[in-house]
Chains A and B, each alone.
Chain A
């Protein structure tokens, strides 16, 4: 039976424009840093999960699990908590310095969010949220027909999988909480937009880079041509975000932790933009096939002299310098190319374009890449 320990703590986030922002997050261990988002909880359909919450913050904190039923505390169903007749938490909470332990048994596979149910208008934007992934009961990562989002026979096999959790940051809220000042949440005005707790260009950095101790999760999506890449979107913020990957439509196979199927009827669909609403989750398969152009089957347009073109206007590029897959060309001197093997990069971003800025400066915000590599280690794109 998996046991997950979450410590509600304070910490400081980094944004790529050099800002440091006070936040609240869940840590994996007592001495570990608060994380944004909180640690991924990976559970299995039919297996009981215990989540122990230790609260080091100065007000009550709780965790609730939208989409899960029969969540228990001390062998009784979770209950809203009232103080002097006023709602304080949607579920049983831990007092400052206290603990609370939740148990539940996921009845069906899918993608879910977990978040604080205490003053969520403040605590969730402050960072007290994370992902809950429930594996199907027959899940087996080593056998393809059992490496699925929703179980064998549901046409949801995948080669690699990624979580992309949307959020927003209004620095005024964070500063007010840090200084113990009042803040009117109806004045909420985000200046940063996050994927997995990071703003672009930090979204493109690897997991666990040491200069982002509170933001361990990158958002680069990587795969090979033809592979089924499972992307799990979670709307953990207050606003809705239209996520648009370039290069291919995504096939939406699950929504709010439910397979899009009615009996024998497949209700999955393809979209080039998916509006991830607050609190919603989506499971999608992205698949890029390629057009088969090679130096022997050249592209039907002329590639101009690269000295006459704009390349790496921001000082960097994801391009290889060649139009061909797996081929490296020349990049002008002075431009840094992050391209490794001639892989193709497709942008994935919010199409509310102001959200791909950091406090108004492009590039930034809710933006990352899908990288299609000629070959890739099977260890990449594995959720841990």
Chain B
């Protein structure tokens, strides 16, 4: 198995919503391989979502967190951590809970170590004052790929040939309440019990930005698209993640989803029984992940949306929010 070395910087930045509003965020930025004398150029360049962390089961992962500070709030010297959410058998020093080990002050580094033994869809996030830092954007996707992919070639969600797929897409759900972002930008306090988001995001963007391409120049800090494209008959794995503070119910119009994994565990009974199930709505709570596979039907556009209809808006205006599209193309 491979040794993976990554380095993420913690810093701040800005995101935009389709109604042209700008919002201050905290987040991570990939600085793997950046020479030491150039890492300061990445200050203020946090992305939403944070960089994808993708490893294989059995890899040895060394993830260095560097606190680059907040150039937009130089007075704010918060420390940060990385918590691998759902990692079994962690020890506290790498679990990223500052109240149970350490956190990283401005200008310092710390290297976390992981040896993932189980494939699946996970999450990472900062655990320092998590109510603030998660909402502010310190959240990222994390995939552990199964050994079976190395042994057999091809793509699998789990170590089971029944979980084979041709393409995969991330559906990472968060919310944005503009008020705490505004208050933090302006050195003020927010009462978190008043939390009331008005933007609902997939992969860090709100519709219609969700269907723009990846690395769209108009969305420099929101590099992830959630436009899902596939050819007829292909198997597509959707990796759902909820790291908002609300429960969500996601549907795809015209496509049923077969849930094959929940919380990074394949749906198998203790005696190997197939417990996967068909769903027309993915109901997902904060902190959960769901792996679902579908076979692309005949060519067309299939909307993916939140069945809590008010979450299909941007600051009250529709359509917006948690909507994206699955575009199925005729087989080549």
Is this pair of chains taken from one and the same complex?
Answer: yes
Expressed in whole angstroms, the minimum distance between the Cβ of B260 and any Cβ of chain A is 13
Q: Which of B257-306 contact A (CB under 8 A)?
A: 262-265, 267, 269-271, 273, 275, 285-288
Contact with A273, one of B79, B94, B287 (Cβ below 8 angstroms):
B287
Decide if B108 is an interface residue (CB 8 Å cutoff).
yes
Decide if A301 is an interface residue (CB 8 Å cutoff).
yes
Question: Counting chain A CB atoms within 10 Å of each CB, which of B97, B262, B275, B285 scores highest?
Answer: B285
Instruction: Judge whether B91 and A309 touch: CB under 8 Å.
Output: no
Decide if A28 is an interface residue (CB 8 Å cutoff).
no
List the B side residues contacting A238 at CB < 8 Å.
none
* Extra inter-chain contacts (14) besides given A301-B111, A363-B99, CB under 8 Å: A240-B247, A244-B85, A246-B97, A247-B90, A271-B265, A273-B263, A291-B91, A301-B112, A301-B113, A344-B100, A345-B99, A347-B99, A353-B286, A360-B191
List the B side residues contacting A325 at CB < 8 Å.
91
Instruction: Judge whether B193 and A304 touch: CB under 8 Å.
Output: no
Stretch at the interface among A2-10, A47-55, A312-320: A312-320
Instruction: Judge whether B285 and A354 touch: CB under 8 Å.
Output: no
Instruction: Judge whether A362 and B131 touch: CB under 8 Å.
Output: yes
List the B side residues contacting A314 at CB < 8 Å.
99
List the B side residues contacting A363 at CB < 8 Å.
99
Give complex CA distance A269, B266 in Å: 10
List the A side residues contacting B262 at CB < 8 Å.
269, 271
For the complex of A and B, the 8 pairs showing the least CB-CB separation, nearest first, are A351-B287, A310-B79, A310-B103, A360-B191, A273-B287, A272-B86, A275-B285, A266-B270
Asked if A346 meets B100 with Cβ closer than 8 Å, knowing A246-B95, A352-B286, the reply is yes
State how many residues of chain A have any CB contact under 8 Å with chain B: 63
Instruction: Judge whether B91 and A240 touch: CB under 8 Å.
Output: no
List the B side residues contacting A299 at CB < 8 Å.
91, 93, 113
Asked if A248 meets B95 with Cβ closer than 8 Å, knowing A240-B247, A269-B262, A313-B103, the reply is no
Give complex CA distance A314, B129 in Å: 10
List the A side residues contacting B90 at CB < 8 Å.
246-247, 346
Give complex CA distance A353, B244 in Å: 8
Q: Render A143-180 as a binary contact track against B, CB cut-off 8 A, 1 for contact.
A: 00000000000000000000000000000000000000
Q: Which of B96-125 contact A (CB under 8 A)?
A: 97-105, 108-113
Instruction: Judge whether B246 and A352 touch: CB under 8 Å.
Output: yes
Name the residue on A nearest B63 (C-beta): A301
Decide if B62 is an interface residue (CB 8 Å cutoff).
yes
Instruction: Judge whether B131 and A356 touch: CB under 8 Å.
Output: yes
Decide if B20 is an interface residue (CB 8 Å cutoff).
no
Give complex CA distance A360, B189 in Å: 10
Which of the four size classes fits the interface of chain B?
A: 35 or more
Decide if B195 is an interface residue (CB 8 Å cutoff).
yes
Expressed in whole angstroms, the minimum distance between the Cβ of B288 and any Cβ of chain A is 5
Name the residue on A nearest B115 (C-beta): A291
Expressed in whole angstroms, the minimum distance between the Cβ of A212 and any Cβ of chain B is 21
Give complex CA distance A309, B275 in Å: 45
Instruction: Judge whether B103 and A265 touch: CB under 8 Å.
Output: no
20 inter-chain pairs at a CB distance below 8 angstroms, sorted by A residue, are: A240-B247, A242-B247, A246-B97, A247-B89, A247-B90, A264-B271, A265-B273, A267-B269, A269-B262, A301-B62, A308-B108, A313-B99, A314-B99, A323-B91, A325-B91, A344-B100, A356-B130, A362-B129, A362-B130, A363-B99
Name the residue on B nearest A361 (C-beta): B192
Asked if A290 meets B91 with Cβ closer than 8 Å, knowing A314-B99, A362-B192, the reply is yes
Name the residue on A nearest B60 (C-beta): A300
List the B side residues contacting A319 at CB < 8 Å.
92, 99-102
List the B side residues contacting A308 at CB < 8 Å.
105, 108
Decide if A194 is an interface residue (CB 8 Å cutoff).
no
Decide if B229 is an interface residue (CB 8 Å cutoff).
no
Decide if B323 is an interface residue (CB 8 Å cutoff).
no
Give complex CA distance A190, B103 in Å: 30
List the B side residues contacting A302 at CB < 8 Å.
111
Decide if A26 is an interface residue (CB 8 Å cutoff).
no
Q: Which of A295-339 contact B (CB under 8 A)?
A: 299-304, 306, 308-314, 316-319, 323, 325
List the A side residues contacting B109 at CB < 8 Å.
304
List the A side residues contacting B234 at CB < 8 Å.
none
Expressed in whole angstroms, the minimum distance between the Cβ of A172 and any Cβ of chain B is 12
Name the residue on A nearest B135 (C-beta): A353
Give complex CA distance A275, B262 in Å: 12
Decide if A90 is an interface residue (CB 8 Å cutoff).
no
Instruction: Judge whether A309 and B88 touch: CB under 8 Å.
Output: no
Decide if B59 is an interface residue (CB 8 Å cutoff).
no
Instruction: Judge whether A345 and B100 touch: CB under 8 Å.
Output: yes
Decide if A270 is an interface residue (CB 8 Å cutoff).
yes
Instruction: Judge whether B101 and A242 touch: CB under 8 Å.
Output: no
Q: Render B73-94 as a binary contact track against A, CB cut-off 8 A, 1 for contact.
A: 0000001000101101111111
Decide if A268 is an interface residue (CB 8 Å cutoff).
yes
List the B side residues contacting A317 at CB < 8 Å.
99-100
Give complex CA distance A352, B247 in Å: 9
List the B side residues contacting A190 at CB < 8 Å.
193
Decide if A196 is an interface residue (CB 8 Å cutoff).
no
Give complex CA distance A361, B316 in Å: 28
Asked if A272 meets B111 with Cβ closer than 8 Å, knowing A288-B89, A299-B93, A351-B286, the reply is no
Instruction: Judge whether B132 and A362 touch: CB under 8 Å.
Output: yes
Asked if A345 meets B287 with Cβ closer than 8 Å, knowing A271-B262, A272-B264, A301-B111, the reply is no
Decide if B41 is an interface residue (CB 8 Å cutoff).
no
Instruction: Judge whether A269 and B265 touch: CB under 8 Å.
Output: yes
List the B side residues contacting A271 at CB < 8 Å.
262-263, 265, 288
Decide if A89 is an interface residue (CB 8 Å cutoff).
no
Q: Render A347-374 as a binary contact track against B, CB cut-off 8 A, 1 for contact.
A: 1001111101101111100000100000
Decide if B190 is an interface residue (CB 8 Å cutoff).
yes
Decide if A289 is an interface residue (CB 8 Å cutoff).
yes
List the B side residues contacting A347 at CB < 8 Å.
97, 99-100, 127
List the A side residues contacting B134 at CB < 8 Å.
353
Contact with B269, one of A266, A288, A359, A360 (Cβ below 8 angstroms):
A266
List the B side residues contacting A228 at CB < 8 Å.
none
Name the residue on B nearest A322 (C-beta): B93
Name the residue on B nearest A241 (C-beta): B285
Expressed in whole angstroms, the minimum distance between the Cβ of B112 and any Cβ of chain A is 7
Instruction: Judge whether B285 and A240 touch: CB under 8 Å.
Output: yes
Decide if A189 is an interface residue (CB 8 Å cutoff).
yes
Decide if B245 is an interface residue (CB 8 Å cutoff).
yes
Contact with B105, one of A272, A309, A369 (Cβ below 8 angstroms):
A309
